[in-house]
Amino acid sequence: MVTSVKTQNDINNRRKTMTLLKTVNAKFFHAEIPYKPMGKYVHFLTVRVTESYPLFQTDGELNKARVRAGVTDSTPISRLAMFKRKQSTPERLVGRELLRNYGLMTAEECEYNVKFAMNNPDCIIYGFAIGDSGSEKSKVVVDTAFSITAFDESHETFTLNAPYENGTMASKGEAGSKPGEVTSRINQQDHIRPQVFFPSIVTLKDPTEASFLYVFNNILRTRHYGAQTTRTGRVRNELVGIVFADGEIISNLRWTQAIYDQMQATGTLHSPDPLNEDDVLTAAQVAVEGLMASESLVHTDFIGEAFKPLLAEVKAQTGSEESLRAILRLADDEAKAYFAKHVEKPKKAAAQAR
């Protein structure tokens, strides 16, 4: 694969072929990927909704955390937790799949957590660490997400077994077993219920327009989280809005707690029934607007009605093959230019110095 060095001119030319976002002011984006943090942040406000029975676990147990129920309601409850890496990994993999599909990366030159090529959008935007070859800090930061509802009403215990051909657990003498013997191939496993909601903010630092769209697209497209082998990890990402800011905003925990308070106040927490998605999204919007109003940083919010045109525009751009290809190409050019200027060159200089 030819990895020619792209100059800023090439990138500017490429940018002309891509339709620029009309709903967002270009001042929120960098013209090129900066080599040091420049204090531009974009926060994607998502609510992750389970649609089947996912598993977020380590050591055979679902991850949970005991925290306050709300910001005002201080009753401690146990919540399901979706760890940060369990959110970012599937999103990265979706992006990598697309880069390969559109011929911008091959499986041989870059393999996740095995061999990072360091010069493609995934490596530069989401970061990598390779022993002596250095590390690129991730520009995407995700935090542990907590379920709005308590652990006990958000999970179910399933019994798993591996029956014989006849559908029972009793042997008929298959493969040398004793007829009538009951197999011990039985297990129990906790699963997260469908319609459990995890409010989660994905933060992208120092975005260019292409990296913003790249990450946005990954969030919109990712459908599976958690243990991959279970085939039950379907999760849908609903976006509540986007906040451009000059720093970090509220935490997932605080947002979740504010949503809990809001839903309690409006009487929409009908425990133990699952939450109504419309109620959750309304509460999520009200809660985040309330919290953002008291933040002491410079921010521009696209939430609720204000978010609709932006979401529609992004979906239109990522939904057509032609414009998606243009976005990926531009993201790739930017990554290659960054790699040549800030990764490859300093490494060569260091090697010469030795």
Partner 1 sequence: MTMIYHCTLELHDSLYFATREIGRLYETEPVLHNYALSYVLGLIDNPQYNTVVPEEHAYRYFCSEQVPKYEEHLTPLNQQGIYVTPARAVSHTAILNTWKYADNRYHVEMEPTSKNIPSFGRTKEIAPESQFEFFLITEKALVLQRWVRIGKWASKARLEAVELPKLTLHSAGEFAYPHPLNPLDVMFTNQVLSYDTVNMPPVSLIRNVRMIGEFYTVEGMQGLKIPAKMQYRFSN
Binding residues for partner 1, per CB under 8 A?
A: 34-37, 58-59, 63, 65-68, 83-85, 89, 93, 96, 111-114, 127, 131, 134-137, 139, 141, 143-144, 228-229, 247-254, 295-297, 342-343, 346-347, 350
Minimum distance, C-beta of residue 343 to partner 1, in the bound complex (Å): 5
| Distance of closest approach, residue 219 Cβ to partner 1, in angstroms | 18
* Shortest CB 318 distance to partner 1, Å: 22
Cβ proximity to partner 1: between 95 and 241 the closer is: 95
User: b/e map of 234-264 (b: 16 or more CB within 10 Å)?
Assistant: bbebbbbbbbbbeeebbebbbbbbbbbbbbe
Helices (H) and strands (E) in the chain, counts: 9, 14
Question: Whole-angstrom Cα distance, residue 230 to residue 57?
Answer: 12
Q: Which CB, 103 or 346, lies closer to partner 1?
A: 346
Rounded to an integer, what distance in angstroms lies between the CA atom of residue 4 and that of residue 164? 58
Beta carbon nearer to partner 1, 63 or 318: 63
The dihedral over CA atoms of 96, 11, 117, 131, expressed in degrees to the nearest 10, equals: -120
Contact 44, 215 (CB under 8 A): yes
* Residue among 325 and 341 whose Cβ is closer to partner 1: 341
The CB-of-137 to partner 1 minimum distance in angstroms stands at 5
- The full length of the chain comes to 354
Q: Kindly calculate the radius of gyration of the chain based on its CA atoms and give it in whole angstroms.
A: 23
Cβ-proximal residues to 152 (8 Å cutoff; 6+ apart), any chain: 78
End-to-end CA separation in angstroms for the chain? 30
CB of 167 to partner 1, least distance (A): 27
User: Considering beta carbons, is residue 78 or 183 the nearer one to partner 1?
Assistant: 78
State which residue, 238 or 248, has the beta carbon closest to partner 1.
Answer: 248
Shortest Cβ distance from residue 188 to partner 1 (Å)?
19
Other CB atoms within 10 Å distance of the CB of residue 32 = 15
Nearer to partner 1 among residue 23 and residue 189 (C-beta): 189
CB of 204 to partner 1, least distance (A): 13
